[in-house]
Amino acid sequence: MDYIKAFIVGGGICVIAQVILDRTKLTPGHILVSFVTLGVVLGALGIYEPLVEFGGAGAKTPILGFGYALAKGAIKGAKADGFLGAFSGGLEAGAGGIAAAIIFGYTMAVIFNPKTKD
């Protein structure tokens, strides 16, 4: 059951992004930036939480979920350590993903070469 929920929530979020891509001149880069920011806002306001509880990875895997995790981390940090925690909490929550992106990104770039599209 949780697979079906993940599929529907994750697919649904991607559909919203696809409609924006097709209806506007925005590029995927714009979508990533606006969705991560939107994720922070929705996460901070507590709107995203129910979606995560329902959709699981379907809500966490889209970049919205990354924004949600950052916001949740920052607020948690702020609660625990005050102002300093607000600065470090978000990055702490996202640290694993960011570190993975850096090391895997670099490694893949060293191993592989880009191929011409056909």
Partner 1 sequence: MALKRIGNQTIKLLNPPTILSNYSIVGPKEGQGPLKDYFDLIIEDDLWGQESFEKAECKFQEEAIRSAVDNAELSLKDMDFLIAGDLLNQIVATGYSARELAIPFFGLYGACSTMTESLSLGAMLVEGGFADKLVCATSSHFSTAERQFRFPLEYAAQRTFSAKWTVTGAGATVLSSYGSGPYITHVTPGRIIDPGITDAANMGAAMAPAAMDTLINHFQDTGFKPSDYDLIITGDLGIVGKSIVMDMMKEKGYDLGSVYTDCGVEIFNPRAQDTHAGGSGCACSAVVLNGYVLKEMKKGKFKRVLFMSTGALHSPIITQQGESIPSIGHAITIDINNE
Partner 2 sequence: MENLNNNEYQKFADKKVPKPTYLKNVILAFLVGGAICTIAQGVTNFLESQGYNEDLCGMGTSIVMIFIGSLLTGLGVYDKIGKVGGAGAAVPITGFANSIVAPAMEFKREGFIFGVAAKMFIIAGPVLVYGIGSSIIAGLLSILFKG
Q: Pick between residue 41 and residue 101 the one whose CB is nearest to partner 1.
A: 101
Cα separation, 80 vs 75, whole angstroms: 9
Q: Amino acid identity, residue 51?
A: L
DSSP structure class, residue 113: -
Q: Which two tokens stand for residue 2?
A: 């949780």
Please pick, from the candidates 8, 47, 50, 53, the single residue that binds partner 2 as defined by CB under 8 A: 8
- Is-contact 9 55, C-beta < 8 A? yes
Binding mask 16-55 for partner 1 (x = CB under 8 A): -----x---x-xx---------------------------
Binding mask 65-104 for partner 2 (x = CB under 8 A): xxx-xxx-xxx-xxx--xx-xxx-xxx--xxxxx-xxx-x
Out of partner 2, partner 1, none, what residue 31 binds, judged by CB under 5 to 8 A for its kind, is partner 2
b/e per residue, 7-29, with b = 16+ CB within 10 A?
A: eebbeebeeebeeeeeeeeeeee
Out of partner 1, partner 2, none, what residue 25 binds, judged by CB under 5 to 8 A for its kind, is partner 1
Q: Specify the DSSP element, H or E, that contains 9.
A: helix 2-23
Least distance to partner 2, CB of residue 26, Å = 10
Least distance to partner 2, CB of residue 50, Å = 16
